[in-house]
Structure 1
Amino acid sequence: MTNLPWWGWAVLLIGVIIIAVLAFIAGRMLSRLQSQTQRRDEAIGKRNERLHESIVTIAKAMDQGQCPLSEGALRLVVLLDLPVEPEKVDYAERYSGLHTMYERIKHMPTHEARKQYPKAEIRKMDDEREGYEKELEDVILSDVRQLLKDFS
């Protein structure tokens, strides 16, 4: 190895420098990736925490009769699908009453969209929705109480 000409040593030195620079760049990229992953995980955790609080608040309001069962079911089913979880839970199966109500009324307009319908049509939809609430009241309240246990 001592018999290498000067240009051989130069090539060897350049190769070592290139490897060192590439190792440094790879280390910085790995560090950035870890930092980015940590920030993403923290953001997901905060988002899931806010969703959790909203779910519990709506469920408590439903349980206390402060929120109509149909409105609460619409909101809860949507919120339960939003959390980012390592293992996706089948909330449709776990809280089947909420999902049954959601499936029956999800086509009904809400808020501003309701105003586009004639009053007779709105009354008909309200009667239908209230009928579903009476029919599913026991199973929905059971789901709400189970949800409160699961999320507490």
Structure 2
Amino acid sequence: MDTEFSSIHWILIVVAALIITALGAYAGRLVFMLNAQNQRQLNARQKRLDSINQSVQTIAFAMQQQQCDLSEGAVRICSMLEAVPLSPLPDYQKEFPALHELFGKVKHYPTHEARQALSKKERRAQDKEREQFESELESAILVETEKLKVFEAQI
């Protein structure tokens, strides 16, 4: 009986060791896969951030060169700043107050087909109002675009 108990005992130890080894290998594989997934997500976030940074810089430059209306630039830049993949999101409204003020005043204006559906009188009235907002905030926005030309949000 001592021999049987000893053989069973050793068999159980070997089986337990095999199970522990298999579970360890599986856990190691899962950790490796998780690290790879985290790296892919980090790379994707960085790629998105690089794209946003480049777009913000380009639009800021176009605004300064008068190749882009201040209103259109404000809408585009503020929308991109809201999409920056950072948590917590920096307080860009505090950093670029004039840009966000103009954005707040014009973001409700219809665009594309909805704008074309307006009468000429309604479009002219909106354009006049938009141009007034732009002229009031132009100097402050142009100062902010200097900072935006070198904008670099970082993870």
Equivalent position of 2:25 in the other structure: 24
Q: 1:87: how far off?
A: 5.1
Kindly report which structure 2 residues correspond to 1:21-60, keeping only aligned pairs within 5 A, or say none: 21-60=22-61
Equivalent position of 1:88 in the other structure: 89
Q: Which has the higher contact order (CA 8 A, sep 6+)?
A: 2
C-alpha separation in 2, matches of 1:39 and 1:69: 36
Deviates more, 1:127-136 or 1:7-16: 7-16
C-alpha separation in 1, matches of 2:150 and 2:85: 20
Kindly report which structure 2 residues correspond to 1:2-151, keeping only aligned pairs within 5 A, or say none: 4-85=5-86, 88-151=89-152
Given the two structures, how large is their TM-score scaled by the length of structure 2?
0.90
Q: 1:111: how far off?
A: 1.3
Identity %: 37
C-alpha separation in 2, matches of 1:107 and 1:56: 24
Q: 1:91: how far off?
A: 0.5
Q: 1:16: how far off?
A: 0.8
Given the two structures, how large is their TM-score scaled by the length of structure 1?
0.92
Q: 1:81: how far off?
A: 1.5
Q: 1:86: how far off?
A: 5.6
C-alpha separation in 2, matches of 1:148 and 1:86: 23
Runs (4+) off by over 4 Å: none
Deviations 1:93-149 (A, max 9, x none): 100000000001111001121012112111111111011001111111111112224
C-alpha separation in 1, matches of 2:109 and 2:127: 9
Matched positions, count: 151
